[in-house]
Homo-oligomer: A and B are copies of this chain.
Amino acid sequence: MTTTQPRPEEQDLPFNVFARACPSRSTLEHVTGRWGALTLGALSEGSLRFNELRRRVDGVSEKMLSQTLHALERDGLVHREAQLTNPPRVDYELTPLGREVAQRLLSLIRCVEDSMDTVLEARERYDAARGAR
């Protein structure tokens, strides 16, 4: 179809993760990145303090967890609650939007976990076929 109609301005286009410049792509990356996904998954069980989160997300460094939480807070998915106690206490919890996103992410995580027998069989077949060449 040829048309002389002008392209709509960027802000009129629907958000689309397949488009390189769409801001939804960075949010998807914050949500699905290695530490983002595990952090949202951990917080879906309830609010946690930084060190509790760090233990739950096995293998994350302090710096990476801190960066991950900043990105999720900036996107409005995680709420940071600092209490003026001594020593100060900081809790992290999902926002309503964060809960919606985490619910879908957990459905995906459970699907992957439940599929691992099939995945490991597929890996064995793939490696055997490659080795036999």
**Cβ-based interface call for A113 (8 A):** yes
Chain B positions within 8 Å of A126 at CB level: 73-74, 76
Within 8 A of B (CB), among A6-31: 14-20, 23-25, 27-29, 31
**Cβ-based interface call for A90 (8 A):** no
Chain B positions within 8 Å of A18 at CB level: 38, 41-42, 56-58
Contact-residue bracket for chain A: 35 or more
**Cβ-based interface call for A64 (8 A):** no
Contact of A115 among B34, B97, B107, B121 (CB under 8 A): B97
Can you list 28 residue pairs at the A/B interface with Cβ under 8 Å? Answer: A14-B113, A17-B37, A18-B38, A18-B41, A20-B58, A24-B112, A25-B34, A27-B112, A27-B115, A27-B116, A28-B37, A29-B34, A31-B108, A32-B32, A32-B33, A74-B126, A74-B127, A75-B119, A76-B118, A76-B121, A76-B123, A76-B126, A97-B115, A97-B122, A101-B115, A105-B108, A107-B107, A107-B108
